[in-house]
């Protein structure tokens, strides 16, 4: 099946301020930042890769205007950097409305060969990093008292077993559980928390860390016979960030065409 046409924006996020983590480059985070801008939002992007972050921010500013795009390097394993990112959003735009926790780290290792360092590194970026950013976001949104939305990036491997992915699957299952618990607490002050769970979205980093054989195997499992484009995942994130999902919280939405 061919990739469908790219959809234009419809102003779904007009006037809102969004923070997107791991937004450098051409992955889901970068695609989400672009889609948010196309929907009328102001965007603050963070990433641990300072050079690529700066390049991405400049490209987006050229396309949408420098007043709508700001950036700050942020490693989500560092609490001080996380706090600085959210303080930057508040200082630059007077507050925030939407947070997309996209930062995550993958890898492949059989359990019998997996080291403590491999396990801990994946969990610290993917699960603990989402926790740190969720905590910072909810503190800010609770204090503001004006509602808001969080969208976390999980994965179908949080539900489905995949060889060599025990650390990543455990982290993403944790993101799902964190999403549900955060949603129950945040409902008290009008904040919604949901997650997306993509199956296979192709971007340059994934191609670098995944073998061609594994990518072919994963693609074969998709009903459409192709991987998702990052912007197709970003479209669902836009939906969850917008008023069209106003009665949804604590949900994990698959972005997948995998066979049942």
Positions marked catalytic:
168
- Report the share of the chain in percent with pLDDT over 90: 82
Q: pLDDT tens digits for 46-65?
A: 999 999 999 999 999 999 99
Q: Are strands 42-47 and 17-20 parallel, antiparallel or unpaired?
A: parallel
Q: What is the distance between the alpha carbons of residues 167 and 29, in angstroms, rounded to a whole number?
A: 21
64: CATH: 3.40.50.720
Q: In what side-by-side order are the strands of the sheet with 98-101?
A: 69-73, 42-47, 17-20, 98-101, 148-153, 191-198, 252-255
| Angle between helix 129-144 and 79-93 (nearest 10) | 30
pLDDT computed for residue 257 by the predictor: 77
Residue 216 covered by a domain = no
Query: Is 145 part of any domain?
Result: yes
pTM of the full structure: 0.92
Asked whether residue 45 carries a pLDDT value surpassing 90, the answer given is: yes
* DSSP-assigned letters across all residues of the chain: -PPPPPPPP--TTTT-EEEESS-STTSHHHHHHHHHHHTT-EEEEEES-HHHHHHHHHHHHHHH-GGGEEEEE--TT-HHHHHHHHHHHHHHHSS-SEEEE---------TTT--HHHHHHHHIIIIIHHHHHHHHHHHHHHHHTS-EEEEEE--GGGTS--TT-HHHHHHHHHHHHHHHHHHHHHGGGTEEEEEEEES-B--HHHHHHS-HHHHHHHHHTBTTSSPBPHHHHHHHHHHHHSGGGTT--S-EEEE--B--
Rounded CA gap, 103 and 96, in Å? 18
Residue 6 domain flag: no
Give the per-residue pLDDT at 220: 66
Cα distance between residue 132 and residue 79, in whole Å: 7
The model's confidence at residue 260, banded by pLDDT at 50, 70 and 90, is very low
pLDDT (tens digit per residue) in 33-44:
999 999 999 999
In total, the chain counts a number of residues equal to: 260
211 within a domain of the structure (yes/no): no
Residue 247 domain-assigned? Answer: no
The predicted structure's pLDDT at residue 167: 98
Q: Does residue 189 belong to any structural domain of this protein? A: yes
Task: Count structural domains, the chain.
Answer: 1
Domain interval for residue 83: 15-198+230-239
* pLDDT digit string, tens, across residues 195-218: 999 987 765 555 545 566 666 666
- Tell whether the model's pLDDT for residue 8 goes beyond 60: yes
Q: Domain for residue 3, yes or no?
A: no
Q: How confident is the model over 83-118, as pLDDT tens digits?
A: 999 999 999 999 999 999 999 999 999 999 999 999
Residue 177 has pLDDT above 80, yes or no: yes
What is the model's pLDDT at position 215? 64
In a domain, 221, yes or no: no
């Amino acid at each position: 099946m061919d990739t469908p046409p790219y959809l234009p924006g419809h102003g779904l996020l007009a006037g809102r301020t969004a923070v997107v983590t791991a937004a450098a480059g051409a992955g889901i985070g970068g695609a989400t930042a672009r889609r948010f801008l196309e929907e009328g939002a102001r965007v603050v992007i963070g990433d641990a890769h300072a050079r690529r972050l700066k390049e991405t921010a400049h490209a987006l500013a050229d396309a949408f205007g420098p007043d709508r795009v700001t950036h700050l390097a942020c490693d989500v394993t560092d609490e001080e950097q996380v706090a600085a990112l959210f303080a930057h959003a508040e200082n630059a735009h007077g507050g925030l409305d939407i947070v997309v926790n996209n930062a995550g780290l993958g890898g492949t290792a059989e359990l019998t060969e997996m080291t403590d360092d491999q396990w801990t590194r994946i969990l610290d970026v993917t699960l603990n990093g989402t926790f740190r950013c969720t905590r910072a976001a909810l503190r800010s949104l609770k204090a503001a008292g004006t509602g808001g939305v969080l969208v976390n990036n999980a994965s179908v491997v949080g539900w489905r077993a995949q060889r060599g992915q025990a650390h990543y699957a455990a982290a993403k299952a944790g993101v799902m559980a964190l999403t549900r618990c955060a949603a129950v607490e945040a409902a008290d002050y009008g904040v919604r928390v949901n997650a997306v769970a993509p199956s296979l979205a192709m971007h340059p980093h994934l191609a670098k860390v995944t073998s061609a054989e594994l990518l072919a195997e994963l693609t074969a499992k998709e009903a459409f016979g192709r991987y998702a484009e990052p912007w197709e995942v970003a479209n669902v994130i836009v939906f969850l960030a917008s008023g069209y999902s106003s009665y949804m919280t604590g949900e994990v939405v698959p972005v997948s065409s995998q066979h049942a």
